[in-house]
Structure 1
Amino acid sequence: MQNKGTIWNNLIFQISIGIILGVVVGRYLPDVAGPISILGELFVRALKSVAPVLVFILVASAIANHKSTGEQTKSFRGIIILYLLGTFSAAVTAIVASFLFPVTLTLPTDGVATAAPQGVVEVLKDLLFKLFDNPVNALLEANYIGILLWGIALGLTLIRSSDTTKAVFSDLSDSISSIIKVVIRLAPIGIFGLVAATISTTGFKAFAEYGKLLAVLLGSMAFIAFLVNPIIVFLTTRQNPYPLVFTCLRESGLTAFFTRSSAANIPVNMALAKKLNLKEDIYSVTIPLGATINMAGAAITITVLTLAAVNTMGIEVDMVTAIILSIVATLSACGASGVAGGSLLLIPLACGLFGINDEIAFQVVAVGYIISVIQDSAETALNSSTDVLFTAAIDKRHS
């Protein structure tokens, strides 16, 4: 019988085959790619539909079925610190990259978005309201902040419940995890559909006009993924970080790249965390939490596109304003939703720091949507893979 690692490696191989076939079909059989795209849509919908229930049950069960220790408290605190540090580092990196390689835009006049937060206070208010959302509505709307709060609250109240009640939640957790395994096994077929649809729609040269903007975005994300994150992991574990970094990018980042949703990739990250033998009572909370607040890719997107707007308008940026932008980008990224394109609607908030009006800011958002097939995919891959990376780093530190 194959062990779990071999099965997982076979799945990665199958996903790679799905990608290749998707490229071939999208490039040479575009008429076929349209109907095939439903496979990708169904796969993403399946992940999104099961993820809220998974998070709620796993968090409640994990808290109800363990005894809190000082070591565990340190783990949670350490992971949250790494999440915020990683996101802030990404914003600073994006500022440096934008200063070194300034980008200006030819802004479109239509196709712009219609709504976005108007200030930091509104972002924080929105986060607060999400925390106290109705639990049923939170599950229906995939409001992971609200789901986390209700899962934690239920788990805490169940700590003193009978062993039978705790066993029920443990069995529910196992059952939901079994469903997840079935969905994940369908990943090669789903990604085949996603890739075919993407290539047939955009081709390989669709982003030539915005090549420099994409280069700054992707270069910043690569810098975080391959240098900054490994440094953070090394300082945390005092071990060679790259085996873990490459594992997370390959086995989490790959699927996140094509699903373009940190929330939808939660089941994939849960499976990877289990494969890495991380503590379930830790990762069952920190993985969904990371999908909400660990947003290095989003911080880069918000910062780079905002500074592109600033350069386009001929506005000078001093060091103090740049630091403030880093903080605002970090807070905004934490408020970005865990779905495709979630960071783009936060760009007007950051543009407001420089007195750029909504009309111009939303045109920048429109540019973001034009390049989002690549930008948002890379952003989500960085965001989601880092959730597992930092959780694993703290787990190794305390093991």
Structure 2
Amino acid sequence: MEKKKLGLVPKLIMGIIIGIVLGSFASESIISIFVTFSSFVSAFISFIIPLMIIAFVTAGIGELRSGAGKLLGLTLGLAYGFTLISGTFSYVVSRLVFPTFIDQATTSAIMDGNVQSVAPLFTIPLLPLLDVTSALVFAFIMGLGISALRGNEKTAEIGTMMGDFFNGFQFIIQMVLEKAVIPLLPYYIASTFSLMSFTGEVWRVLAIFWRVYLIIFAMHFLILVFQFGVAGAIAKKNPLPYLKNQFPAWLTAAGTQSSATTIPVNVEVAKKNGVSKSIREFVVPLCATIHLSGSMISLTAFSIAILMMNNMDFSFGLFAPFI
């Protein structure tokens, strides 16, 4: 009888719990080992992210034989539109709810906290070959170019050759994600939380910001329900099963605080939700960079909370340019 494998979500939750427990009892020398591991994984993921964007976005756009430019424009418009909606939604909710529990006592608790730092034993100078924006622009140029070449009878052979090259590149990056990045995520999260637990930051942050976190998570859930609801209405399908499938990606994003790190998980979720290969491998890496609903909700809410604690201006006139 084949053993049932433990899913990613249980592994991530176990990583958080184990990290907090280990950080509560381990010595600084042990924590420094975890910090060293965490810094290496972080550098490795940062190195892979631009390559991932080039591989997936280029191949995704290149496979769209017609209408690639229109699809790109539509995706950009939807991504930025939902980002603005999310930021405005977060501002309204934060302004209405936060004053009910943020006061001077909260401010004093924040100011009195001193966070201890633990340095890694050593670091590896692993720098990305190029930054995310450069990778994105390069992917746009190559993807749209391949799509245009394939659509012309005279250059179709060249377009096919270039498309095959980037498809092979994508296959290699996909193997790296499946064999290295995703398996390392639970250990990376455990290492991160062990440091936060050791320094006491996890308890101090939760003691002060637990209500802010709960409200932010509630807003994340509501915006996901809204977005999946819109998609379900357009596709005439029940969005709840698809929303349930999205949970591993949301948990990864919340644990790592990185949209880019969540790309491989989101690609698998999109596959499970029945999104075509060309669309998911084009949209997911692209939107990890430009569709920032979760980040916008969190950044707006935390900014308002800090401004409230310091009796500073948080009017909409101030936040509109920020959003």
Residues 46 and 309 of structure 1: is their aligned pair in 2 closer, same or farther, counting only changes over 3 Å? closer
Residues 168 and 27 of structure 1: is their aligned pair in 2 closer, same or farther, counting only changes over 3 Å? same
The 5-angstrom pairing of residues 267-306 of structure 1 reads 267-306=264-303
Give the TM-score taking structure 2 as reference length.
0.74
Residues 59 and 69 of structure 1: is their aligned pair in 2 closer, same or farther, counting only changes over 3 Å? same
Which of 132, 144, 147 does residue 156 from structure 1 map onto?
144
Give the TM-score taking structure 1 as reference length.
0.61
8 Å contact 1:93–1:220 — kept in the other structure?
no
8 Å contact 1:220–1:300 — kept in the other structure?
no
Which of 190, 193, 204 does residue 192 from structure 1 map onto?
190
Paired amino acid for 1:38: T
Can you list the C-alpha shifts for 1:45-91, whole angstroms capped at 9, x where unaligned?
22221111111122222222331249x94686267425522542343
What's the C-alpha RMSD, in Å, of the aligned pairs? 3.5
The alpha carbon displacement at 1:316 in A equals: 7.3
Residue matched to 2:320: 327
Residues 245 and 90 of structure 1: is their aligned pair in 2 closer, same or farther, counting only changes over 3 Å? farther
Q: Secondary structure at the match of 1:206?
A: helix
Mapped partners of 2:298, 2:183: distance in 1: 31
Can you list the C-alpha shifts for 1:247-299, whole angstroms capped at 9, x where unaligned?
323x1122223322222332332333334332232233322332223223433
Mapped partners of 1:247, 1:50: distance in 2: 25
1:254 paired with 2:240, answer no
Residues 162 and 224 of structure 1: is their aligned pair in 2 closer, same or farther, counting only changes over 3 Å? same
8 Å contact 1:47–1:265 — kept in the other structure?
no
Moved more, 265-274 or 42-51: 265-274
Q: Secondary structure at the match of 1:205?
A: helix
Residue matched to 2:262: 265
Which of 229, 253, 258 does residue 224 from structure 2 map onto?
229
Which of 19, 33, 36 does residue 35 from structure 1 map onto?
33
The alpha carbon displacement at 1:305 in A equals: 4.6
8 Å contact 2:79–2:287 — kept in the other structure?
no
The alpha carbon displacement at 1:96 in A equals: 3.2
8 Å contact 1:88–1:299 — kept in the other structure?
no
The alpha carbon displacement at 1:326 in A equals: 5.3
Q: Secondary structure at the match of 1:207?
A: helix
Mapped partners of 2:191, 2:313: distance in 1: 45
Residue matched to 1:241: 239
8 Å contact 1:47–1:264 — kept in the other structure?
yes
Residue matched to 1:215: 211
Residues 253 and 40 of structure 1: is their aligned pair in 2 closer, same or farther, counting only changes over 3 Å? farther
Mapped partners of 1:277, 1:223: distance in 2: 27
Residues 313 and 10 of structure 1: is their aligned pair in 2 closer, same or farther, counting only changes over 3 Å? closer
The alpha carbon displacement at 1:190 in A equals: 2.5
Q: Secondary structure at the match of 1:67?
A: coil
Mapped partners of 1:314, 1:96: distance in 2: 18
8 Å contact 1:60–1:151 — kept in the other structure?
yes
Can you list the C-alpha shifts for 1:331-384, whole angstroms capped at 9, x where unaligned?
xxxxxxxxxxxxxxxxxxxxxxxxxxxxxxxxxxxxxxxxxxxxxxxxxxxxxx
Residues 224 and 240 of structure 1: is their aligned pair in 2 closer, same or farther, counting only changes over 3 Å? farther
Paired amino acid for 1:140: L
The alpha carbon displacement at 1:100 in A equals: 3.4
The alpha carbon displacement at 1:313 in A equals: 6.5
Mapped partners of 1:279, 1:296: distance in 2: 23
Can you list the C-alpha shifts for 1:21-47, whole angstroms capped at 9, x where unaligned?
222211222432331233333222222
Can you list the C-alpha shifts for 1:226-245, whole angstroms capped at 9, x where unaligned?
22321232133134433333
Can you list the C-alpha shifts for 1:142-178, whole angstroms capped at 9, x where unaligned?
2x23322211111222231243332122111111111
Mapped partners of 2:139, 2:81: distance in 1: 22
Mapped partners of 1:307, 1:12: distance in 2: 31
Residues 153 and 325 of structure 1: is their aligned pair in 2 closer, same or farther, counting only changes over 3 Å? same
8 Å contact 1:252–1:268 — kept in the other structure?
yes
Residue matched to 1:179: 176
Mapped partners of 1:260, 1:309: distance in 2: 19
Paired amino acid for 1:150: F
Count of residue correspondences: 290
Alignment gaps of 5+ in structure 1: 112-137, 331-399
Mapped partners of 1:139, 1:203: distance in 2: 29
What is the percent sequence identity of the aligned residues?
Answer: 20
